[in-house]
Chain A
Amino acid sequence: MIGVELQVIGSQLVAITEEMGAVLVRAAFSPNIKERRDCSTALFDEAGRMVAQAEHIPVHLGAMPEAVAAVRALEPGVDEIWILNDPYAGGTHLPDITTVARTRLGYSVTRAHHADVGGPTPGSLPSESRTLADEGVVISPSRLDDDVLERLVGQMRNPDERRGDLRAQVAAHRLAAQRLDELAGRRGEPAVVAAMHELLAYSERLVRSAISNLPDGHAEAEDVLESREGDLVIRASVTIAGAEVVIDFAGTAPQHQGNLNCPLAVTSSAAYFVVRCLTAPDLPASGGAFVPVTVSAPAGCLVDARAPAAVAAGNVETSSRIVDVLFAAFGELMPVPAQGQGTMNNVVLGNERFTYYETVAGGQGACPHADGPSAVHVAMSNTLNTPVEALELAYPLRVERYALRPGSGGAGMHRGGDGVIRDVRVLEPCTLSVLAQRRSHAPQGAAGGESGAPGRTLVNGDELPASASRELAAGDVISLHTPGGGGYGCL
């Protein structure tokens, strides 16, 4: 049984994270944060456990504890704000800049995907990076003050926008501090601390109870990522035993020379997302929910990479495939949906004057009882699209087609969702960088359903590989055909 007062305070803590997110989105400058809400906010307790998270995109789910641990180790003072993006010291990939503030009752955290963090390629998601240094400015955990802020944004493209976005992150921390003060003033500090602990225990109880309702068993699955060196295997085993889930990635390919590597924080986040889908999707995100889930991987493999491996595509592409592999493994034990597009179709266009970054929607896999939706973000991505009118106003780009891609969803008792076709003409010379997957391996159907159509990337009609960079001339047209989702069940 749970004390109602603690439940009531807990709901106010969740509300604080939501209000932090509202402030961050409203105050930010870049479309990626404001319009697409590529950001998350959270509160942690004194011990560095995540009490509540308002996450707008699943890939941020549960990937913040490492950031808090990294800052906590440096013993920050109350109300100090720290900044980091180093994937090997609490971060995920460089464009995700995390800020951590020490509060009177723990920590507040924000994470936002910045449209550019410097480095040789506009957008800082190079398709051909080989080490972390190729991908932009690496920020090890440091105290954020005006000097640090200016020094950092000075190394990035569009420093005004970066400064605005970072200030929006700071504004969210100020709000958290104020709201925590008010809450502690009204309810008393000990009650708020007790409510934090109760929220953690409550979410753990709820998830344990849901896992207990799943069938016990052990299963394995594998899938591949497309790279220049050939296909890279991701292999996972899952074990459901009573109220716990154990996930291990033994058999996964070693980290590679490209940028599909990811730190274990990103891998864990993908694993939590899958377990959450299978257990308690409506549960407010809280660290307690992750306690019954153990995630491990061989050190130095693709999904537990070590410095200085490049990671640009790990967060956006490898995470999608980890979800696919885990669903496939759990699918041996219970019904699961067919595979969705399995890629975020990351497109960056830019030069020294502008940077445009967007992930493009595709088909979702069909479920046991429903068709898959068309033209949506699938699994680890959950962002809005940039309006064509906003895009054409802000950038030297013209969208010539944005349409459903009919027939790309797999057939079945329930159809997979269709992908989209998006043709963009560039009006001045710029660099194109595409990070995508599922160009040669199609999203698979489930329970006898057919697979969806794989995706395509074309420049002036010429096919590009899954990940590629190109210098474009004014008038060139890039055309994305995103994958359809797999179907479910025999026709």
Chain B
Amino acid sequence: MAPAGELAPLDLSTLSDLGNPEAIAVCLLHAYRHPAHERAVAAELRRRHPRAHVVASHESAPEFREYERASTTAVDAYLGPLLSGYLGDLASSCVSAGLPEPLVMRSSGGVVTASEAAAHAAWVLLSGPAAGAVGAAFVARRAGVENAIAFDMGGTSTDVCAIVDGEVRREHERVVGGFPMRLPTVAVHTIGAGGGSLVNRDAGGAIRVGPESAGADPGPACYGRGGSQPTVTDANLALGRLPRRLAGGLQVDVDAAARSLDGLDPADVVAVVEAEILRALRVVSVEQGLDPRDFALVAFGGAGPLHACALADELGVRRVLVPEPAGVLSALGLAVGDERRDHVRAYVCRLEDAGELPAVGEADLRYAGQSFELSVPLGPQLAERFHDAHDARYGYASRDRPIELVAIRTSDVSRSRAHVATTDRGARAARGPELVELDGATCWVPAGWAGERDADGTLVLERQ
């Protein structure tokens, strides 16, 4: 195939003998717009290898650029047998236990049936972090907040994601374990800094936090399970920002935390880890053209609510939401996720030659000659809105340059009907400096911050 179509007819007899594979990924050049040869090769391979899991690139990720498409297809095929076996077992166990077939969350933050999820394993790779962001968006919407940044700080890493107009931000490509994945994914940005991250001083005298982590075992020094190197959690304990008995009943050892710090000022440790997280928060806000001052911070994960107010001050954010289930917000996200099916169609042609476009969705557009695209919502005056978006993002627009349409992205969404019951725990106000204990997390409210719980139990903190 060439960009314009077939160069020579396909000769299936040249397909080599593949032995007895478990999974096969098929990716042919230009199959994103001319899939006939790829379809024929995949059909032939399915005929020859009826037990193999065969995935063709135009089914998995029908997008321009062969390397990203092939990489996505290979991961999809590689994980397919494992995931479909597991989900099949899970579904049948559910049925025999009298439960409905489970829904499965994809990296897009939407759920699909288990059999759909099993067909394309690559689509579910980042379902965990996606669920956290969906949970944060849900909590924010219930609190009447449309624009927020989800800030999930756990033991080993921190995930952040922007929520705009009540919706988590999505992106079309990300790298997972070194492999580019060209699939709709909640735009979660991850860094290797969490409560259990190890702290040390490097040869130049600077304090470094992570990416090595004390993990759950031995855990931070204050857990008293043999950890001797200080962690972020030890610094927080030394500053009096953690209770002596953590959620779950673990009794922590303040002296062990102090010993591990060995003269390091715990406030310095917290300043360094917050600087790292601040960079991550800037990546999902200012680097995307979003002004964080228009956003609230939704803090969750075991350690998120400890650092949220200080980070909000640095970003100019005036409101912090701490959900009641801060320690298990991903589970809430799974329960309230919408059913969602994403579709992409590659064009790679002049916008004016594209014909009629869907009314709702996104168009990936660029100036002819450019090689990266901007996503613009579909609708009237698409070209004009692309010029404006380019100007807003890059500081200039070339209104006399032709525009190319690279792809159209659409999605079918059915809203979740999950019912979330809340228990009224009564009004509870907090005024900094104060330490607020939650079921699975601890919230540090510094001086200058105060607020109270809303009907959902979400602690809504405002800068005073």
Contacts and interface: CB of A to CB of B under 8 A. Distances in A.
Contacts of B367: 29, 164
Contacts of B67: 385, 387
A19 B287 contact: yes
Interface string A29-52: 101001100000000000000000
B207 interface: yes
B370 A34 contact: yes
A22 interface: yes
Interface in B390-431: 393-396, 398, 401
Contacts of A160: 369, 401
B103 interface: no
A171 B66 contact: no
B371 A34 contact: yes
Given A160-B401, A388-B29, A389-B30, A27 B394 contact: yes
Interface string B339-380: 000000000100000000000000000010111100000000
A4 B207 contact: yes
B204 A202 contact: yes
A210 B203 contact: yes
B64 interface: yes
Interface residues of B, number: 39
Nearest to B204: A206
Given A15-B279, A393-B3, A29 B204 contact: no
A397 B65 CA distance: 16
A5 B265 CA distance: 13
Given A2-B206, A4-B207, A22-B287, A392 B2 contact: yes
Contacts of B287: 19, 22
Contacts of A26: 372, 393-394
A202 B203 CA distance: 9
Interface in A446-478: none
A164 B390 CA distance: 12
Interface residues of A, number: 42
Interface in B274-296: 275-276, 278-279, 282, 286-287
A11 B205 contact: no
Contacts of B271: 4-5, 8
B370 A29 contact: yes
A7 B272 contact: yes
A390 B64 contact: yes
B294 to A, nearest CB: 16
A218 interface: no
A168 interface: yes
Contact of A389 (B29, B265, B369): B29
Contacts of B203: 205-206, 209-210
Interface in A1-32: 1-2, 4-5, 7-8, 11-12, 15, 19, 22-23, 25-27, 29, 31
A197 interface: no
B11 interface: no
A307 B39 CA distance: 59
Contact of A171 (B29, B265, B282, B394): B394
Nearest to B33: A389
Given A164-B398, A392-B2, A205 B204 contact: yes
B255 interface: no
A8 B275 contact: yes
Contacts of A170: 395
B202 interface: yes
A418 B272 CA distance: 42
Interface in B260-280: 265, 268, 271-272, 275-276, 278-279
Given A206-B204, A385-B67, 9 more contacts: A11-B279, A34-B370, A203-B204, A205-B204, A206-B202, A387-B65, A389-B30, A392-B29, A398-B2
7 contacts: A160-B401, A167-B396, A202-B206, A387-B65, A387-B67, A389-B3, A389-B29
Interface of A: 1-2, 4-5, 7-8, 11-12, 15, 19, 22-23, 25-27, 29, 31, 34-35, 160-161, 164, 167-168, 170-171, 174, 202-203, 205-206, 209-210, 385, 387-390, 392-394, 398
Sorted nearest first, the 6 A-B pairs with minimum C-beta distance are A206-B204, A27-B394, A209-B203, A8-B275, A4-B268, A205-B204
